[in-house]
Amino acid sequence: MSGDLTGRVTEFVDHLHEHFVDPCIIKNGAYVMPTNPGYSAELKEQTLQEYAFPYGSYWAGTETGQAEQAWRAGNPPGRIAFASARLEAQA
């Protein structure tokens, strides 16, 4: 860590803390070093499963998630297509 704070920025997403195993702490406007190893960036397994695109429960019921699932079902694994190509195919 640097002793000079000039030009230093910390991204802080307070509204997402419930998704992190060991969320970072900001105290008096400064980042508090984590007590556990790592960068406080590990996501909980439940969050990873819920928001996995397109099969997670968050996406599964949406039009976007269902369209992606249908596209994947009709294409071999490993085939890559850009979103613009997928939109043209749906039109």
What is the average per-residue pLDDT within 70-81? 79
Q: Measure the CA–CA gap between 31 and 50, rounded to whole angstroms.
A: 29
* Each residue's pLDDT tens digit, 2-55: 577 788 777 777 889 899 998 888 888 888 888 888 778 899 999 999 999 999
Q: Which residue has the higher pLDDT, 1 or 18?
A: 18
Q: Tell whether pTM > 0.75.
A: no
Q: For the chain, what are the domain ranges?
A: 1-44, 52-91
Q: Measure the CA–CA gap between 32 and 25, rounded to whole angstroms.
A: 5
CB 52 within 8 A of CB 60: no
Q: Which residue has the higher pLDDT, 13 or 71?
A: 71
- Predicted confidence at residue 55, as pLDDT, reads 92
